[in-house]
Structure 1
Amino acid sequence: MLRITTTAYYPRKGVRVMHSSPDALLRPDDRDALRQALRQLYDRSDIPVLFGGQVENRLLSLSQFIGVRTAGLRGLRVRAETGLGGRVLITGRPAKVSDYRSARSITHDYDRPVLTEGIRSVVAVPVVVSGAVRAVLYGASRGPDPLGDRAADAVADASRRLAAELAIRDEVDHRLRLLDATRGSAGERQQGVPLEELRQVHAELRRVAQQVPDEDLRGRLLDMAGRLAGQSTAPSRPGPRLTPRELDVLAQVALGCNNAETGRRLSLLPETVKAYLRSAMRKLGASTRFEAVVTARRQGLLP
């Protein structure tokens, strides 16, 4: 897979950010989410040096950097139980050293790149998803004053946000695998996957899409949900243009959810659900919830 390395500058502090961007994938490269987490942390804190990387097979590969002055840390691979990051990989808990050079709580396998960078105080926080460490975020400073609890809390908050984003992406992948099982002719699809399960996948894809911050990924998920709905039926005529939220509500109603259940699943108030449902019914020319669902299915808006 082609990866292009780029360099960018942040005008507020005049520091450099190094990152890589992959070619187009259905699931965006998780390094993009890691980079975004560091950018947000950079904007919300006064931590001068930030970096991090993903974990695979108990190996941490550093790939994202803000505020670094050298290339020593770039591409560094941290093994479990070695250095501060390796300790975090094993424990799954944040760790901090106030003076890296003299710290006795960690091994010093990576002294050359760390000390060349001038780093003195470091905090490392794991990004834990479903009980597994998927990435590690670091905050560091070069001055004599160690990073305090406020800085550690800021890195921890960024870690939690990134963990939530990765969990959503994992759920999307799971749903897309189910969607792959529905490909082929309508007859093959219904033999391989029960129609009710197909409808659940469609509704869940739409629900998850609304939680995804990445606009490109959200759009592709909604497009796939739409194709899933359109390919599972043969619309007799072009259907009306329902808004994404109207379709979200109808998809949940089609599963038998009442207004309160639909609201909980979509993070909407029951009154808001009613408003979307009334609007969808009006556009579909339906007088009942059941009629709205049936009409939407006939027109290829729902599976």
Structure 2
Amino acid sequence: MMATALLRPRDDDALRAEIRRVARLAQVPVVFGGPVEADTLLLTQFFGTVTTGLRGLSVLRASGLGGQVIDLRRPAAVADYRGASTITHHYDGPVTTEGLRSVVAVPVVVADRARAVIYAATRAVGPLGDRTAEVIVQASRRLAAEIAVRDEVDRRVRMLELAAPAPATATATTEELREIHAELRAAATATGDTALRDRLAGVCARLTGVLTGESADSAPRLSPRELDVLAQVALGCTNQETAARLSLGQETVKSYLRQAMSKLDARTRHEAVALARRHRLLP
């Protein structure tokens, strides 16, 4: 579990980036939100607030506007928070202190479970409008996709940590680790988080080093994309399958494969994989 904890950045960082994007694109005075753990929303990120009443507030499932969207897993809004009859009023104190009246809340749903909530609000009565709602919905979808990638990376790293080679199963274990290596490289290409992508690259390099040892200084210098493609080819993937796994075009995959083969002085894709392993560039 230690490696997973070190690998995964705080989801709050990605949430903060989306809140800033919403504030810029939707041009609403107040945007805030937080992660959901055990059916409880903790407000941690804020833009445009003038009091501290909402900071660190815990919102329970089905309570208030945020609790309602956690429960229903869909956006909800009120044009006048104080007089709204569609929500409970457990949090009127901090909301009123901040002066918020019109509020929209959008859940970040991953695997049918709310993982965060993003709010936008004004201090005037009246609906926020479709443009604002659409900006927040798009932000929630981006954040959901990012969290889903991080979850999958965590799952794969846990599999790696639990792998315990035994003499009778050494070959099968090596093949499983090679598959994990390839999937981690594919996950790295899917994330928009530069820090996470760099950490994944480091994990892949460590995994290769564990299985093969360090590559020699004389080894050909393959680009990360060329290694991404070769890692998928090593699993027996076709160009079409490799393109789908890496979210690339087939012609792009062919180009990277040709470049790798040229650098490795290989005549076939399979020879390229064998030479990459001989040079300790792939597990």
Whether these two folds match at TM > 0.5 is yes
Q: In the alignment, what sits opposite 1:298? A: 278
Q: List alignment gaps of at least 5 residues for structure 1.
A: 1-23
Q: Shift of the alpha carbon at 1:282?
A: 1.2
Please give the residue correspondences for 1:135-150 in structure 2 after superposition, counting only pairs within 5 Å.
135-150=116-131
2:235 aligns with 255
Kept after mapping to 2: 8 A contact 1:181/1:189: no
Offset from partner CA, 1:93-138 (integer Å, 9 cap, x none): 1111001111111111111110111100000111100011111110
Whether the 8 Å contact between 1:182 and 1:189 is mirrored in structure 2 is no
Distance in 1 (CA, whole Å) between partners of 2:35 and 2:49 is: 18
Give CA deviations for 1:80-102 in whole Å, capped at 9, x if unaligned: 12111111111111111001111
Q: In the alignment, which residue of structure 1 is the partner of 2:12? A: 31
Instruction: Report the residue type matching 1:138 in the other structure.
Output: Y
- Deviation per residue, 1:207-227 (Å, 9 max, x gap): 111122221211111111122
Quote the residue 1:10 is aligned against.
none
Q: Residue 54 of structure 1 contacts residue 135 of structure 1 at CA under 8 Å; is this kept in 2?
A: yes
2:210 corresponds, among 202, 208, 231, to 231
Correspondence 1:55 to 2:36: yes
Aligned sequence identity (%)? 57
Q: Return the offset for 1:35.
A: 0.5
> 2:154 is matched with which residue?
173
What is the CA distance between 1:234 and its match in structure 2? 4.6
Change (3 A) 1:301 1:146: same
Aligned counterpart, 2:190: 211
Structure 1 residue 26, shift from structure 2 partner: 2.3
Residue 138 of structure 1 aligns to a residue in which SS? Answer: strand
- Is the alpha carbon distance of 1:106 and 1:193 closer, same or farther for their aligned partners in structure 2, counting shifts above 3 Å? farther
Would you tell me which structure has more helix in proportion to its own residues? 2
Are positions 1:157 and 2:138 aligned together?
A: yes
Deviation at 1:142, TM superposition (A): 0.6
1:198 paired to 2:198: no
SS of aligned partner of 1:262: helix
For the residue of structure 2 that corresponds to 1:232, the secondary structure is helix
Determine if the alignment matches structure 1 residue 265 to structure 2 residue 241: no
Q: Which runs of 5+ in 2 are unaligned?
A: none
| Matched residue type, 1:168 | V
For the Cα contact (< 8 Å) 1:100–1:120, is it kept in 2? yes
More strand by share: 1
SS of 2:45's equivalent in the other structure is strand
Q: Does 1:46 align with 2:27?
A: yes
The count of corresponding residues between Structure 1 and Structure 2 is: 278
